Amino acid sequence: MRIFVFMKIERFISELLYRYQCVTVPGFGGFIAEIQSAVIDPEKGLCIPPKKTISFNVNLRHNDGLLASHIAKAEKISFDTALNLIRAEVAFVEDQLAAKQRVELRNIGTLEQTNFGAIRFEPANDVNYYTAAFGLSNIRIPQRYVEEIQNASTIVLESQPKVIELERQSRSHFNAWKYASAAVLLLGVSGFFGNQAYDTYVEEKTAEVRASVQQKVTQEIQKATFVIASPSETLSLPVSTPDFKYHVVAGAFRDQKNANAVLSDLKSRGFEARLLPKNRFGLTPVLFGSYTKYGEAKAALTHIHQTQTQDAWLLVE
């Protein structure tokens, strides 16, 4: 079967996937980059580093301005010209999919249309878009440790991590053993980077520590004596504010009146909606809400997709 290639805009999509968790192609769909924690593959005896996995959602068709703005800046063309370029590419690709041809997006994946009209996406695995994992490669784990991993049924967290010494067979293999040792150590401490039991344990222990510290601070405050030199003086204490860096976006608008209208509509429907400052492209994002944790934002986005609109998307600052 002949494969057609997304000739003009696939490079820009790929560039944005390094920086964003969702890149929407207006009128076509969105490519979502989810961070996958490092994992141990006992069958192959490998420790696989963290990476971003790419998926495709045909319902994310709303133009958020990200892709068009990036193309306009990179190619030194107007925003409208960039939009026209995207529309032309989308029309071409849809024609190829309708003709039962596979469409390849280099370093991203391939698209094809099923007999039922749905679009099937197969991600490419030769590029890792997770910049924090650059330079990391698969580490082979000695067989005896693979067997320990397979037989492990519980996660044990100790105050001092246990370092498993690996035998040095030759100098040429030293670095591989060193990294394998680090991988096994990391497994013991982090619970496979995302194990739900470990996350729950950490949250519980963090809450206990905070409660203990708060109790001690309260006791010290009760013991302290404050001498205020003048009644007119005031004591200012710093107040920490939540770090809302995950936003569920309803849309981004160049016209402020449109942004205000959508904001009022969302508030009337019970959302804690707000506006973000204009971005460098002159667009004002309107938010369904903002969250401190990725899991909360993801759950809210899923609920909004199910009950409100499929055009909402996730912005990470």
Instruction: Kindly give the confidence (pLDDT) of every residue in the chain, 317 residues in length, as a single tens digit, with 9 standing for 90 and above.
Output: 445 545 578 899 999 999 898 999 999 999 999 888 888 887 778 888 898 889 999 888 888 889 999 999 999 999 999 999 999 999 998 998 988 888 888 889 999 988 888 889 999 888 888 888 777 878 887 776 666 666 664 444 444 454 444 444 444 444 544 454 454 444 444 444 444 554 555 556 556 656 665 666 556 555 554 444 455 555 555 555 677 888 999 988 888 999 999 999 999 989 999 999 988 878 899 999 999 888 888 888 888 888 888 888 888 87
- Distance in angstroms (rounded) separating the CA atoms of residues 73 and 258: 25
Q: Which residue has the tokens 């890792």?
A: 128
Kindly list the structural domains of the chain, giving each domain's residue range(s) and its CATH number in brackets, ordered by start. Answer: 3-40+49-132 (4.10.520), 141-220 (no CATH), 246-316 (3.30.70.1070)
- Strand segments, DSSP code E, in 146-294 are 246-253, 274-275, 284-291
DSSP SS3 for 234: coil
Question: How many residues are listed for the chain in this entry?
Answer: 317
Residue 172 — φ and ψ, nearest 5°?
-70, -20
CB 121 within 8 Å of CB 110:
yes
pTM above 0.75, yes or no: no
Amino acid (one-letter) located at 90: V
As a whole number of angstroms, the distance between CA 286 and CA 273 comes to 7
List phi, psi (to 5°) of 247.
-125, 135
How many Å is the maximal CA-CA distance in the chain? 85
Residues 247, 314 contacting (CB under 8 angstroms) = yes
The token duo for 212 is: 């203990």
Cβ density class 217-247: b for 16+ within 10 Å, e for less:
eeeeeeeeeeeeeeeeeeeeeeeeeeeeebb
